[in-house]
Amino acid sequence: MDNTISYQSKANKLYIILGGFFIANAILAEFIGVKIFSVEESIGFKKFDIDLFGVEGLSFNMSAGVLNWPFVFIMTDIINEYYGVKGVKFLSYLGAALIAFAFLMVGFAMSLSPADFWLIQNINGEALNMNNAFSAIFGQGMWIIVGSITAFLIGQVADVSVFHKIKKLTGERNLWLRATGSTLVSQLIDSFVVIFIAFYLNPQYSWSWQMVAAIGLVNYTYKFIVALLLTPILYVLHSVIDRYLGKDLAQQLIAKAAQ
């Protein structure tokens, strides 16, 4: 087999795999994000009692979507490393379009008339209106949807830009610096943009800027810590990908991505 064809096949397969994980995690984060959980209690600690900007009693109550977003940004950095700005931007725009499509289909599903036998179900000994439950879980407001998609796109563009600026300064060295640095910047933007649009601009909530700043800072602190903890995964993935591609193809892709 021609080596060129073999190289293209490997490179294309890798891009599809990385892109699949990227988009799957992005969409999944939107839908599981409706659940709010206590980080402290989930790991066996008492809730913190933090006061910020005049907002009292704050703790690490997070959207369950934060479980997926670190993996989105890890995939972003890996794709950035091997496929460059164009590779990341294509998946980012595609991901945003698919998130919008998913919400559109959910909205359509919510409008369907429920079957009589399904409407009331006994769940853990409690009668539950399944149609109301479905709407409560999947029926996120338009402001939240717009905020999520906007934050996603702005965060991705920032991640790509910072990643390549750091790479130009440091060369091929210090993968952890360009990956973690770009993630920390993009997560900072993501933490505040979605809250600003969904709860500050949204007339239904009209949060004060102090509330936006306080909750955004708490969210970012969590994401900052998680981003640092997940840094070793980048090196593991980098090593696995290099072995799969082979040294020559890996270096070719990395060199082309840096152009």
At 78 the pLDDT is 92
At 6 the pLDDT is 63
Contacts of residue 43, defined as CB under 8 A and 6 or more positions apart, other chains included, come to: none
At 147 the pLDDT is 85
- Residues (pLDDT < 70) of the chain are 1-7
User: What HEC string does the chain produce?
Assistant: CCHHHHHHHHHHHHHHHHHHHHHHHHHHHHHHCCCEEEHHHHCCCCCCCEEECCEEEECCEEEHHHHCHHHHHHHHHHHHHHHHHHHHHHHHHHHHHHHHHHHHHHHHHHHCCCCHHHHEEEECCEEEEHHHHHHHHHCCCHHHHHHHHHHHHHHHHHHHHHHHHHHHHHCCCCHHHHHHHHHHHHHHHHHHHHHHHHHHHCCCCCCCHHHHHHHHHHHHHHHHHHHHHCHHHHHHHHHHHHHHHCHHHHHHHHHHHCC
At 3 the pLDDT is 54
Q: Which two tokens stand for residue 230?
A: 């997940």
34, 28 in Cβ contact below 8 A? Answer: no
**Nearest to residue 138, comparing CAs of 92, 105, 181, 162?**
105
At 1 the pLDDT is 45
At 241 the pLDDT is 93
At 43 the pLDDT is 85
What does residue 203 show for φ and ψ, rounded to 5 degrees?
A: -65, -15
One-letter amino acid at 13 equals K
